[in-house]
Amino acid sequence: MKEKRISRKRRRQIVLLRNVSLTLALILVLGIILIRVVFINGRTLDVSAGYRIEVHNGAAELSEFRLASAEGFAQSLVACEDEVGKDLVKLSNETEKKLLFNIDQQEAVCAEGIYERIYPASLTKIMTALLCLESGDLERNVVMTEEDFNLGDGAQVSQLDVGDSVSLGDLLNLVLVYSSNDASKAVARTVGGSVDNFVNMMNQKAQSLGMTGTHFANPHGLHEENHYTTLYDIYLMMNYAYKLPGFSEAASKSSTEIHVSPSDGNPYTFIANSTDEYFTGIYSLPQNVTVLASKTGTTDEAGSCLSLVVQSNYGVKYIAVVTGAQNKEDLYTDMSAVLNLINT
């Protein structure tokens, strides 16, 4: 009897050990699956189908895991194919591209040509501004130099002159509100130590944000062949920038007051108006849509471009981008059609 009791006890121990082993194995398997879901798929970022890095950057050697775990790829990013809801809005001409992402729910509402290489024009200044906010002292006084105005014919410049002293914060406002190219160069050399080093900072930041289809060659966006981006990368940049303290405040102004201390006269102020024609009242926003941040861009090669962070009447935030319009009327007509999708 004693031997039978011992035998039953041993059998119970073996069964218990086997159950524990099976439980641990199941936990391990589930853990591996969970890790894959978190680091590869995230909440909405299906990298293999959505980002398609190999399509627009020739980087097919990057694995899904490396791409998804790269710095800057947060779980809250929107992922989609090159075209989503293309027929929801018909653009005015074939050079245009569009994007509308619900960034609160990480959903693509519409997209067209968002991984194709484009010239960004002054949408470049989104990166210039965010680096100014992250790495600059906005109270610092900056003296304008002759090199700041070495921009070529027709470039948009402010009322500043060589020798004028102005705060870095006011230069930031000129960059985002008035799209001033002289202010952009002054920000670059002040924050980066030199314009060339600042451009290196821009490209490093772009990499950290996952902007694999982007290369910056200057801080202002005036045309250069090796200065390019994609609509998806503009989304990544704007999605990061608008969350920085001070960015939306500057990028939602209809005008800005600039305080100047000239080298040979009395201090004065001037008003610079926004280049966004929604803000100036030339064009009207769709009903129940509010702009939280805006950046315009225009060159002959890029066409007319606009990137917005907007909010619906229910507080839902979206990023909208339209590029390549042949004129301002097409740009704002098509952007309004894109924004109208928020109400439907």
- Residue where the block lists tokens 């200065």: 227
More confident residue, 245 or 71: 245
| Contact (Cβ atoms closer than 8 angstroms) between residue 47 and residue 79 | yes
pLDDT in tens, 167-199: 999 999 999 999 999 999 999 999 999 999 999
Mean pLDDT throughout 29-44? 36
H-state helical runs in the chain: 2-36, 47-50, 53-57, 64-68, 125-135, 168-173, 181-192, 195-208, 231-241, 247-251, 328-339
- Read off the pLDDT band of 18 (50, 70, 90): low
Compute the CA torsion angle 311, 251, 214, 65 (nearest 10 deg).
-50
Q: Across the chain, what does the average pLDDT equal? A: 85
d(CA 103, CA 87): 21
Which of 61-70, 71-80, 145-154 is predicted with the least confidence, judged by mean pLDDT?
61-70
Residue 246: pLDDT above 90?
yes
pLDDT in tens, 281-324: 999 999 999 999 999 999 999 999 999 999 999 999 999 999 99
Most confident of 14-18, 77-81, 158-162: 158-162
Residue 76: pLDDT above 80?
yes
d(CA 289, CA 104): 15
Bridge partners, 329 (sequence order)? none
Which of 107-111, 185-189, 264-268 is predicted with the least confidence, judged by mean pLDDT?
264-268
Residue 35: pLDDT above 70?
no
- Residue where the block lists tokens 């694995």: 63
Positions annotated as catalytic residues are 122, 125, 179
Mean pLDDT throughout 243-258? 97
| Contact (Cβ atoms closer than 8 angstroms) between residue 319 and residue 126 | no
pLDDT of residue 153: 86
pLDDT of residue 264: 86
H-state helical runs in 64-148: 64-68, 125-135
Burial class (CB in 10 A: 0-12, 13-18, 19+), 102: middle
H-state helical runs in 193-297: 195-208, 231-241, 247-251
Compute the CA torsion angle 250, 252, 254, 258 (nearest 10 deg).
0
Which of 9-18, 92-101, 144-153 is predicted with the least confidence, judged by mean pLDDT?
9-18
Compute the CA torsion angle 270, 275, 276, 281 (nearest 10 deg).
60
Mean pLDDT throughout 149-164? 94
pLDDT of residue 31: 47
Residue 295 annotated in ligand binding? yes
| Fold entry, domain 121-343 | Beta-lactamase (3.40.710)
Question: What are the sequence ranges of the domains in the chain?
Answer: 121-343
- Read off the pLDDT band of 75 (50, 70, 90): low
**56-94 in b/e burial notation, b at 16+ Cβ within 10 A?**
bbeeeebebeebbebeebeeebbbbebebeeebbebbee
> What number of residues does the chain have?
344
Rg (CA), the chain: 26
| Contact (Cβ atoms closer than 8 angstroms) between residue 84 and residue 78 | no
More confident residue, 4 or 227: 227
d(CA 299, CA 286): 26
